[in-house]
Amino acid sequence: MRYDAIVLGSGPEELVGAASLAGGGRRVLVLEAGPEIGGAAAAEELLPGFRVDPVHADAGFLDPRVLRDLELDRYGLALLAPDPVLAALAEEGGALTFWRDPARTRVAIADRSARDAGRWEAFAERMEAFARILEEVAGRPAPRPAGPLRELAPFLGLGRRVRALGRSDMTELFRVLPLPAYDLLEDTFEDALLKGALGALSVRGLFQGPRAQGTALALLHHLVGSPTGCFGTRTVVRGGVGGLIEALDGAARARGVELRVDSKVERIEIERGRAVSLRLADGSGVAAHAILSGMGAARTLLDLAGPTWLDPDFVHALRQIRCRGGFARIHLALSEAPRFKGLAEPAAGTIVLAPSLDYVERAFDNAKHGEASERPVLEARIPSLADTTLAPAGRHVMSVDARFVPVDGRDSSAGFAGATAGDALADRAVALIAERAPNLPGAILGRKVLLPADMETRYGLDGGDPYQGELALDQLLFMRPVPGWSNYRTPIQGLYLCGNGTHPAGAITGASGRLAAGAVLADLEGHG
Amino acid sequence: MQIARVWDAIVIGGGHNGLVCAAYLARAGRKVLVLERRPILGGAAVTEEIFPGFKFSVFSYVVSLLRPEIIRDLDLPGHGLHIVPLESTFNPLPDGDYLATWADSEETRRELYRHSPRDADAMQEFGRLMQRMAMAVKPLLATEPPDPASLHPRELLAMGRIGKHFRDLGERDLHALVKLMTMSSADYLREWFESEALVAAKSASGIIGTFLGPRSPGTAYVLLHHYMGEIDGVFRAWGFARGGTGAVSESIASAARGFGAEIRTDAAVASVIVKGGRAAGVALESGEELRARTVISGLDPRRTFLELVEPADLPSDLVAAVERFRFRGSSGKVNLALSELPDFSALPGAGPHLKGAIAIAPSVDYLERAYDDAKYGDFSRRPFMDIVIPSMIDPTMAPPGKHVMSIFVQYAPYARTGGWDDRSREAFGDAVVDTLAEYAPNIRSAILHRQVITPADIEAVTGLSEGNIFQGELALSQLFFLRPAPQWADHRTPVGGYYQCGSGTHPGGGIMGASGHLAAKAILADGGR
Amino acid sequence: MTTAAVRTTPFHSRTAALVRGHTWRHWAGYVVPASYDLIHDLEYAAIRGTAGLIDVTPLFKYRIHGPAARALLDRVVTRDVARSKVGQVLYTPWCDPEGKVLDDGTVTRLAEDLFRLTSAHPNLRWLHQNAVGMDVVIEDETYDTAALSLQGPAARQILNLVADRDLTKLKFFRAAETSLGAIPATVTRTGYTGDLGYEIWVANDRAEALWDLLIAAGAPHGLQPTGLLAMDVARIEAGLILIDVDYVSARRALIERQKSSPFELGLGWTVARDKAPFVGQRALERERVAGSAWALRGLVVDWDALEELYADVGLPSQVPALPWRTSAPVYVGGRQVGYATSGCWSPLLKKSLALAHLEAPHAAPGTEVEIEVTVEHRRRRALATVAKTPFFDPERKRA
């Protein structure tokens, strides 16, 4: 028996892909290697009753088309909107808070710099306008400039959108896209904390400091789909990424998708350049017209399909994809929420510790030379403040991303792994937060540290990169995941990619799954 | 006595671009006057006898990118220009070995093979790709950038032509170009090469003149920029001018004079006289006023727009853009008068390697650490150095048997914490000599004289803002239609009859002359008299 | 530590003593004799009449072994390596993913899982790029292995004088591991002359001994040290193409037009059908169906026509003293339909020969074309006929 399509993996993009294919009337099978649907995205229990998302974060921007098409609200999806969205912890105690209402953020900034406050709203609006342009690009397959002319048609619409910005904003867009966030922020603001916080957000998904070109684009990239000035947490899904998985699982099953766990795929079988079936670890095989993989491009094509049918240039390109997560994740189970000095309201959104741009740059310097940051940039969340389902009553879960951690020998002189290294970094991170929230150390009931090496071995994320490829200028749009192969297809017919390593990438949006399913459906129809 | 003489064109600044522009205008029959603030011509391309008998190319020290059509059009060889190719590169390494490249590709292959057999293969393919990439970018350098915000059919057509040009490159080359435009030189080179010494040596050309490290995205473009000289059938166009880089300026000046241009030194311009929204002449610092129908600034964008004219008369967008334009000079020079040649431990003796470029760039980490020092406001304790010994090629540069050595040094940040003074300048010079002595121990005793130049000195002497040798960083956000500012990347300005021709305009950078040539074309196209 | 600018081969002490005219040629970073005497005629005569001994050390040589050695080679080259037997040599081109030729050379199967690949350009990186995920060892033995080519009717006789076993039975394109004198060597019955001949591969440190051995045994049989010029004449007569001269490697081409497929180079016979996937396979299968735009063919320039062109200016007809490799346009009815890339006067056939790329419709043997020739400083066109190669194909080559 032959499925129309088999989806490898059961993360959010894969489930969106599977549900969309089934919605298109196709017979779909999802194979999950692990014991639970969700794979790396499945929620884990840190301690009984404390639920955390092991590696992913930020399920808060789902492509509205995915929400609508899959009717996720019917399957229990609920979106929460914590406020403030971002709290930037100051060196001297206290914090700069960013709110959903830009005017309220302006007031907060005014305490530190009247000049910056005056510039905030215009900056936020301009950034939002730019992000809208990127959103336009993110919603469809990335057009390939050297590809067929019909692929460029959407570019025309985009060109009109860009022109509609007006001369001043349009030229500013061209200037900002390749700009270092450092320059963008230095051009605009004077307050070190404000610049540091936004600088920290601009290096997410990159193994670079804020002085690197392309970091301004990364800042914009993360802003896609956000309300104006919402640089931190946009919305969160109740139940976290785990909650999203449950809803997607429901939607997929309702559309007739068959899901199997504990089904590790050993090999993609290829005949005459076409993927025809999968061989599982137990020796059994399953045949399909199309195979959609949520794994990274290199894992899928080199490890599962093998290089036999691939051109050496393509193989070379696969091996050049830079995956450099560069951060460690620290999960904490807490008996009480941390109380930050000088911060009146609970920090329900993103909490950032990056008092200045130089602080961020220096944190990267360490990693560049092969060591974990002495004073890491911290990006923390306490999702249980907004979502009481994640921890027992009155208790909390907190996750802290500590940047930067060296990834491998290729980019730094030493690798970074092992329990000692991880614990030392986690201790430093906790101590840094404790300077601002002294009750934190005493509140810790449980702790778990994930280094890039753990994310790679345990969750299949090369280089510990949840984006399956750095969000660098040369790895976006038609260059993602491999230059010229941005349309979810691969040189092997019938084999498709839908993971975060494909366009548009970034936060979990479902866009890759949806667009990849579109490519599969188009091809299946083409073949009758 | 000149009574109210009106020039067709006055060029402010006798740097190489100003002189090129003047020469082309004079060749077209215009009455042209060039005004240079200093007693000598050339701007940053000057040769000066700093110590008796020792002549230095004080600032700019190699000629790489001077456009061949300029050499032909102006018959520069007829005016004394003779460029001698700089054929080899030599990088001593801390482990006592070295990495060299030679004029002959097979000999280079043999040398690279010692370090990595695969890299020896890769180098030839890499060279081919760079050649194609330089061919792909070249048409853009030779034309005015279109204004993407304009709906004028001419601009749309130009945009369309560029789009077609890139599509015609084919997928593979287009992707390679995108990578070069966006990646760091270290990342890009690691896609090709495995030898650390080779990646470091090559990535160093990606950081020259920038305030970036080899791992910073954007440096791959600078790498490509340095390959530009190697097309047009003048492969290995890197070279010395006999008589130093001042000889380049002198030859262009001589050509300009030959076409009838007048050149005045010791003539510092205070401002451009603007009447009724049009440039009408210039006022000298001496108080003298000179009238002209066209005024061209060869100075950098900051001086062109914020000092020579009244910023209040300019559109606020332009002023804001120029204020944001980044200079951040990051390099210094150390010029040495030597009693004997340096003796490198890695390759002892006065071999052919001393006739080429010598670089201290042993590893990417080394370069990054040099950059780290500068990021936080100090010069590199162990800097990157690009060294040439011009007296090896042109013995007239030094007394017989003696030598001059030119050391280009990065990083020396203009905005050094605590500023630059005599003490910090000499400390910087010491860091350079100490580092060099690790590779050539005899250097200390061979030094007869030492001239140390910080970015602050570059600014003070040449007028280049913040000492940036390119009149503004060669960063993606400052290239093409953004150089120096959107809408004003075509060498024109909002002031009628006022033009810009310095390296701070498209295409910019190096002793290229293209900016001066394009400006002259724009002026002639406008029919400005 | 400064080293000489060019490499010399391990035979240099012997060849240098014999190159009377100081006529050297650069080849892949080495210098080797272009001819030993000022005129190469006798060396050519030796190839066709007795035997010539040619230093071919500069060829690139790779030793490929391990469980996936066969798979790697099958992935790279167009011939079907799986079907080759131990002791067999395959001549083969290899291609880029678009099916354009990168290089050509030989694959010798020395054992089940052990091969030697020879090539004109370096290919180490290419082999590694194709070996991703394969259990195979690639050793560059270019600079450790010396090679001599023994070519001509007396080659077998001379070789048997020194070999520790009778090589008479060694068939065309077969290899044998043997000893010559006491020198361990691989002998392949291959060459670049289209004649009876062998190539002998030994470790560098045995090179001089091998040379001395062969010269001592061969001299009484007319063995002649031979340079590249004579070999060039012989290879044109044999219709064997030369990289960088008759075609541009796709790796070095700057524009598409410079590239050629195996079909376009007359190597269609080397593109195996139904073999394991190899680089360029899809493109080549498409070309096999759709047909090729170009074909590489021989041209025989019409002697009478040439004579007439010279007679027009009052000169006796002249033939080029050296094999030539400057491109010459080829016309049909006044329109250019191709270009000749190399040619020579064949002293044996008494014909002016050329190898030419022709547009497919004009490539049928027997087609009359015109080739540009320069007669007394003026460009003229001489009648020429498209011919099948080899121009010269003696029985002894395969017998």
pLDDT digits (tens, 9 = 90+) for A192-206: 999 999 999 999 989
Mean pLDDT of B108-136: 92
Mean pLDDT of C116-132: 97
pLDDT tens-digit series, residues A227-250: 888 888 888 889 989 999 999 999
pLDDT tier for residue C17 given thresholds of 50, 70 and 90: very high
Spatial neighbors of C30 by CB under 8 A, at least 6 apart, are: C6, C7, C8, C9, C57, C58
Is residue B458 within 8 A of residue B467, CB to CB? The reply is: yes
- Best probe of the C interface among B118, B135, B194, B344, by most C CBs < 10 A, is B118
pLDDT tens-digit series, residues B146-196: 888 888 888 888 888 888 888 888 888 999 999 999 999 999 999 999 999
Tally B–C CB contacts below 8 A.
Answer: 45
Domains A2-47+54-78+240-321+469-526 and A323-463 in one fold: no
**Pairing state between β B262-264 and B32-35:** parallel
pLDDT tens-digit series, residues C320-368: 889 999 999 999 999 999 999 999 999 999 999 999 999 999 999 999 9
Tell me how far apart the alpha carbons of residues B282 and B288 are, in angstroms, rounded to a whole number: 8
Helix axes C207-218, C155-162, angle to 10 degrees: 120
pLDDT of residue B238: 73
CA distance C125 to chain A (A): 11
Whether residue A134 has pLDDT greater than 90: no
Residue given tokens 């006898």 in the structure block = B49
Q: Where are the beta strands (DSSP E) in B207-361?
A: 239-241, 262-264, 269-275, 278-284, 289-297, 331-338, 357-360
Residue, of C49 and A141, whose pLDDT is higher: C49
Exposure on the CB side of residue C181, measured as CA atoms within 13 A:
15
Could you tell me where in chain C the CATH 3.30.1360.120 domains are found?
7-59+142-226
pLDDT of residue A164: 86
| Residue in A closest to B488 by C-alpha | A171
pLDDT tier for residue A411 given thresholds of 50, 70 and 90: very low
Tell me how far apart the alpha carbons of residues B66 and B160 are, in angstroms, rounded to a whole number: 29
Domains of chain B: 6-43+242-326+474-525 (3.50.50.60), 119-235 (no CATH)
pLDDT of residue B234: 44
Q: Which residues of C183-210 are buried (b: 16+ CB within 10 A; e: fewer)?
A: bebbbbbbbbbbbbbbbbbbeeebbeeb
HEC string of A421-488? HHHHHHHHHHHHHHHHCCCHHHHEEEEEEECHHHHHHHHCCHHHCCCCCCCCHHHCHHHCCCCCCCCC
Whether residue B496 has pLDDT greater than 90: yes
Task: Judge whether C4 is closer than 8 Å to chain B, CB to CB.
Answer: no
- Top CATH class, A323-463: alpha beta
Q: C132 to chain A: which residues are within 8 Å by CB?
A: 302, 307, 312, 315, 319
Mean pLDDT of A441-456: 93
CATH topology of domain C294-396: Elongation Factor Tu (Ef-tu); domain 3 (2.40.30)
Whether residue A338 has pLDDT greater than 60: yes
User: Which residue in the set A144, A176, A369 is minimally distant from B365, CB to CB?
Assistant: A369
pLDDT of residue B232: 44
Whether B118 sits inside 8 A of C252 (CB atoms) is no
Instruction: Specify the CATH number of the domain C7-59+142-226.
Output: 3.30.1360.120
Whether C2 sits inside 8 A of B347 (CB atoms) is yes
Cα–Cα separations (whole angstroms), residue A86 to A82, A107, C101: 9, 14, 58
pLDDT tens-digit series, residues B313-355: 999 999 999 999 999 999 999 999 999 999 999 999 999 999 9
Q: B169 to chain A: which residues are within 8 Å by CB?
A: 146
Mean pLDDT of C240-267: 96
**Percentage of chain A modeled with pLDDT above 90:** 69
pLDDT of residue C3: 60
| Residue in A closest to B321 by C-alpha | A172
Residue, of A154 and A140, whose pLDDT is higher: A140
- DSSP H or E stretch at residue A280: strand A274-280
pLDDT tens-digit series, residues B73-95: 999 999 999 988 888 999 999 99
Q: Which CATH architecture has domain C61-141+261-290?
A: 2-Layer Sandwich (3.30)
Whether residue A299 has pLDDT greater than 60: yes
pLDDT of residue A156: 75
Q: Do you know the residue count of chain C?
A: 399
- DSSP H or E stretch at residue A130: helix A114-138
Mean pLDDT of B253-281: 97
Alpha helices in B354-500 (DSSP H): 364-375, 422-439, 443-446, 455-462
Task: Judge whether C293 is closer than 8 Å to chain B, CB to CB.
Answer: no
Mean pLDDT of A430-458: 94
pLDDT of residue B230: 56
Q: Which of C317, C341, C330, C328 is nearest to C367 (CA)?
A: C330
Is residue C35 exposed (0-12), middle (13-18) or buried (19+ Cβ within 10 Å)?
Answer: buried
Residue given tokens 């937060």 in the structure block = A433
Tally A–C CB contacts below 8 A.
Answer: 26
pLDDT tens-digit series, residues B2-34: 556 899 999 999 999 999 999 999 999 999 999
| Residue in A closest to C74 by C-alpha | A308
ipTM: 0.92
The subunits that touch chain C, with at least 3 C-beta pairs less than 8 Å apart, are A, B
Exposure on the CB side of residue B329, measured as CA atoms within 13 A:
29
Task: Judge whether A483 is closer than 8 Å to chain C, CB to CB.
Answer: no
User: Which residue in the set C28, C125, C254 is minimally distant from B131, CB to CB?
Assistant: C254
Mean pLDDT of C118-134: 96
Q: Which amino acid is at C320?
A: P
Peptide bond into B507 cis (omega under 30): yes
CATH topology of domain A2-47+54-78+240-321+469-526: FAD/NAD(P)-binding domain (3.50.50)
Mean pLDDT of A436-441: 96
Domain ranges of chain A: 2-47+54-78+240-321+469-526, 323-463
User: Is residue A302 helix, strand or coil?
Assistant: helix
Task: Judge whether C277 is closer than 8 Å to chain A, CB to CB.
Answer: yes
Whether residue B529 has pLDDT greater than 90: no
| Residue in A closest to B149 by C-alpha | A167
pLDDT of residue C172: 98
Exposure on the CB side of residue A337, measured as CA atoms within 13 A:
21
Could you tell me where in chain C the CATH 2.40.30.110 domains are found?
294-396
pLDDT of residue B4: 64
Whether B121 sits inside 8 A of C126 (CB atoms) is yes
**Pairing state between β B6-12 and B289-297:** parallel
Instruction: Give the bridge partners for A397, in sequence order.
Output: A333
**Pairing state between β B357-360 and B89-92:** parallel
Whether residue A502 has pLDDT greater than 50: yes
Task: Judge whether B356 is closer than 8 Å to chain A, CB to CB.
Answer: no
The DSSP code sequence of C107-171 is EEEEETTEEEEEESS--HHHHHHHTTT---EEEE-TTTEEEEEEESTTHHHHHHHHBSS--TTPP
Mean pLDDT of C380-385: 97
Whether C1 sits inside 8 A of B347 (CB atoms) is yes
Other CB atoms within 10 A of residue B232 CB: 14
Calculate the CA A36 to chain-centre distance: 21
Tell me how far apart the alpha carbons of residues A484 and A474 are, in angstroms, rounded to a whole number: 12
**Percentage of chain B modeled with pLDDT above 70:** 97
Whether A483 sits inside 8 A of B148 (CB atoms) is no
Tell me how far apart the alpha carbons of residues C240 and C344 are, in angstroms, rounded to a whole number: 13
The DSSP code sequence of B131-169 is HHHHHHHHHHHTSPPP-TT---HHHHHHHHHHHHHHHHT
Interface list for chain A against chain B, based on CB atoms closer than 8 Å: 144-147, 163, 167-168, 170-171, 174-179, 183, 187, 208, 211-214, 313, 316, 320, 322, 358, 361-362, 365, 368-369, 410, 413, 472-474, 479, 483-484
Spatial neighbors of B437 by CB under 8 A, at least 6 apart, are: B443, B444
Tokens describing residue C307: 């004579």
pLDDT of residue B3: 56
Tell me the residues of chain C between 67 and 106 that have a Cβ less than 8 Å away from chain B: none
pLDDT tens-digit series, residues A98-127: 999 999 999 999 999 999 999 999 999 999
CA distance A312 to chain C (A): 6
Cα–Cα separations (whole angstroms), residue C4 to A416, C120, C346: 45, 22, 37
User: Which residue in the set A320, A358, A472 is minimally distant from B217, CB to CB?
Assistant: A472
Whether B148 sits inside 8 A of A168 (CB atoms) is no
Task: Judge whether C128 is closer than 8 Å to chain B, CB to CB.
Answer: yes
Q: Which amino acid is at A298?
A: A
Task: Judge whether C97 is closer than 8 Å to chain A, CB to CB.
Answer: yes
Whether B121 sits inside 8 A of C6 (CB atoms) is no
Task: Judge whether B169 is closer than 8 Å to chain A, CB to CB.
Answer: yes
Cα–Cα separations (whole angstroms), residue C309 to B315, C305, C314, C317, C336: 74, 6, 9, 8, 20
